Amino acid sequence: MPLDIVTVPCLSDNYAYIVKGPDGIAVIDAPEAEPLIAALDQRGWTPDVIMITHHHHDHVGGVAQLREKYRCKVAGPEAEAHKLPELDMALEPGTYGGEGEGLCEVIAVPGHTLGHVAFHYPQAGYVFTADSLMAFGCGRIFEGTPEMMWDSLSTLAALNPDTIVCSGHEYTASNAAFAQTIDPENAALISRTQMITAARAKGQPTAQVPLSLELQTNPFLRAGQPSVKKAMNMPDATDLEVFTEIRARKDKF
């Protein structure tokens, strides 16, 4: 049974996801309740669990209302349990749940926050990355270090390139504009930017993309590429040093 995945826009630029698989129905992050309730009720679905990636309010603001309405469980990273709504299941990185297409692996992706996790469905070919790896970008480093974030992105970059990356915000257009300042000669980047512009003009989401395309166009994943180092006048720098500089430039962009 393949996963049935619904992308739910929330707040001004957030995304939540509803994942229906052989084991039941999961909501991944809950920025606000109303859009998720509408999407669930439209389909006649009742969630079994809310799976939280990290503690920021724009990812957990709807948890209490959803739990009260559906009596569903709440799961999230054990490392951030003290900052999260009450958890029924505290998740450790490296644990698995479900089976078949619904098999889910918890991956540690610290950097944006210290306990941030991603939810990887290896057999279905999806990874839900919230504010770690993002379309054309990565999250700001609020609690961790550049080294943590680079290690997290490297972990995600090593997944099957056919994996669909589903991130937590519609930041793609601004990320694309920044990417062109780092990697201006990248033909794949230029082509992707044109597709994003067309999609956003139609109101279509663009934060769900194959990892293979991210590897070709996301400057944060390409910090180790000689062409990127050359373009940044850092030909002899380490990959981490280049990543750190890219993140610093994006913070000021």
Query: Would you state the pLDDT for residue 2?
Result: 86
pLDDT by 10s per residue, the chain, length 253: 789 999 999 999 999 999 999 999 999 999 999 999 999 999 999 999 999 999 999 999 999 999 999 999 999 999 999 999 999 999 999 999 998 999 999 999 999 999 999 999 999 999 999 999 999 999 999 999 999 999 999 999 999 999 999 999 999 999 999 999 999 999 999 999 999 999 999 999 999 999 999 999 999 999 999 999 999 999 999 999 999 999 999 999 9
Query: If DSSP codes are grouped into helix, strand and coil, which group holds residue 151?
Result: helix
Q: Annotation-wise, does 82 bind a ligand?
A: no
Q: Annotation-wise, does 151 bind a ligand?
A: no
Query: Would you state the pLDDT for residue 1?
Result: 72
Q: What is the CATH number of the domain that holds 128?
A: 3.60.15.10
d(CA 205, CA 150): 26
Q: Annotation-wise, does 4 bind a ligand?
A: no
Q: Annotation-wise, does 55 bind a ligand?
A: no
Q: Using alpha carbons only, give the angle 52, 97, 124 rounded to the nearest 5 degrees.
A: 90
Query: Which is nearest to 52 in space by CA: 122, 118, 123, 135?
Result: 118
Q: Annotation-wise, does 88 bind a ligand?
A: no
Query: Which is nearest to 127 in space by CA: 11, 209, 40, 27?
Result: 209
pLDDT in tens, 162-173: 999 999 999 999
Q: Annotation-wise, does 58 bind a ligand?
A: yes
Structural domain for 15, as ranges: 4-251
> How many structural domains is the chain composed of?
1
Query: C-alpha distances in angstroms, 201 versus 16, 168, 171, 173, 195?
Result: 21, 20, 14, 11, 10
